[in-house]
Each structure stands twice: as structure tokens, then as C-alpha cells.
Amino acid sequence: MKSSTSNSAAHNDGPNKIPFTAPLAKALIGKQEGDTVIVDAPKGKIEYEIESVEYKEYP
């Protein structure tokens, strides 16, 4: 799954966009490539492995 987080409501539209307030986005803060995060979801815990991290600046 490829997705991105945003700290602005203006950039949260479209597929694969995660608001920075979402549990998944919060779990990703401070993590690096190769790290694993576990997120509490309504259906239980979900484990993700971070394959890559990139930073893009929006205008």
C-alpha cells in the first residue's frame, strides 16, 4: 500500500491520503524504512512494515 500523510486539510483529498490526525499517521511519526508499526483498528490490530519514506513539500 502506498499512501501519504498531510498536515493540511487542503491536501487530504484523493485516494491514499491520510490526515495527520489518523491513528495510522500518528503511528508512523518518527519511524524509518524497515520499521514495523502496529495500529489499533476497529477490526483489531493491523501490522504494517515501512518500505520507504519520502518528504514532499506542498506549495
What is the structure's pLDDT at 17?
77
CA diameter of the chain: 37
What is the reported pTM? 0.62
Under a CB-based contact definition with an 8 Å cutoff, are residues 5 and 18 in contact? Answer: yes
pLDDT higher than threshold 90 for residue 9:
no
In tens, the pLDDT along 15-42 reads 677 888 888 888 988 999 999 999 998 8
